[in-house]
Every structure is written in C-alpha cells, then in structure tokens.
Amino acid sequence: MDKTELRARRLAARSRMPSPERVAAGRALRDAVLEVPQVEMAGTIAAYYSIGTEPDTRALIYALWKRGTYVLLPILLPDGDLDWASYEGPDSLLPGPRGLSEPGEPPRGTDAVRRADVVLVPALAVDAAGNRLGRGGGSYDRALARVAPTIPVIALVYDDELLDSLPVDPHDRPVTHLARPTPGITPLPRPAP
C-alpha cells in the first residue's frame, strides 16, 4: 500500500473513533509522556498543538509548561518548513494555516528545535523500526533532520497505529519512541549511524 492510501485509511479510522475514546486516549498519553525520565528532566521540549482527530496534546503541553518546562511549538512557514516559538499558555496561541494553532511569541528560527532535550511529533502511524507516517508535507522530516541522534523523538499515536512496516522515502526521519494510550511508551531501535 502506498503512503497516500495508507494516510487516507488512517485518517478515516481516526474519524470513526468516538470522541470519548479520543479524550481518554489523550489523558493516557499525557500521563505516559509526563512519566518518561527524559521528559521529566528536560529543560526544553519541542512539541505540537494537536488538531482535529490527532491524539490530544493540549493538556500535555499545558502540564509541561506549568511545571516549568520551556515548550517550543511549531510555526508553519510558507515553504512547509517549521519555525519555532515559545508556548506561554493557552491564551498565547493564534490561528495559523491549515487549522493549526500557533504560538504568538517571537519566532526563534528553524534551528531552535536543535536546543530541545525531547521532541514530540505527530504521526498517523509508526512501524516497529521507528518509521513515521506523517501527513505528507515533509515539515517534520525537515525539522527532525536538525535534531541530534541522541535526542528522544517521541511520536504520539493511538493504540492501533503501530504497524509492522511502512513505506519509507530517503528523506523520512525515524522516531526513537512511540507513545500509545494503553501500553504507554515503547522505545524503538535507533537507526545505524
């Protein structure tokens, strides 16, 4: 199955998920991620503010911010790359392109993600090798190309979104961990240097 068809299937499955199930999944993911030792110790975390049927990150981001973590959220640039700015609470967000909520703080530049101790990324699915299926714009692959291989990169997905394998393109960047509501955090094999 190619990526386009796989994306359509994953999005359709998410749209069929009952809202209470999505809410419960968001809570479980929040709790699992907050207990990850690297997250507990992180001074800076690059994250994303969920939209639509994505696993909810809003409470997670708020909890990280309230406990004093410096949270960077992406700003989608016209060329599809990601700039980053600080999250300063829910009132600091502004409407962005494609239904996104973006931070209203001054942008820190595309390289700001390099300073993150942990990176949280969206995914429609992840496979056992850490390959991530995104929405197809390549924005996160560009951002992850700037992240050191020693930094934990955690994809947040629903329980049924860990697949045996995914189609992979040369520009795709793998994740190091998978966060799912029921099993929690799963470390994935790191790619060979």
Q: What integer pLDDT is reported at residue 71 of this predicted model?
A: 98
**What pLDDT, on the 0 to 100 scale, is given for residue 193?**
54
Give the tens place of pLDDT for each residue, 139-183. 999 999 999 999 999 999 999 999 999 988 888 899 999 999 999
Does the pLDDT value for residue 189 go beyond 90?
no
Structure confidence at residue 192 as a pLDDT band (50, 70, 90): low
Confidence of residue 67 (pLDDT cuts 50, 70, 90): very high
Q: Are 85 and 47 in contact (CB under 8 A)?
A: no
Say what percent of the chain tops pLDDT 90.
87
pLDDT at position 129 over 60: yes
Lowest mean pLDDT among 34-43, 74-83, 165-174: 165-174
Q: Which domains does the chain possess?
A: 3-182 (3.40.50.10420)
Please report which confidence band the pLDDT of residue 191 belongs to, taking 50, 70 and 90 as the band edges.
low
Q: What is the pTM of this model?
A: 0.94
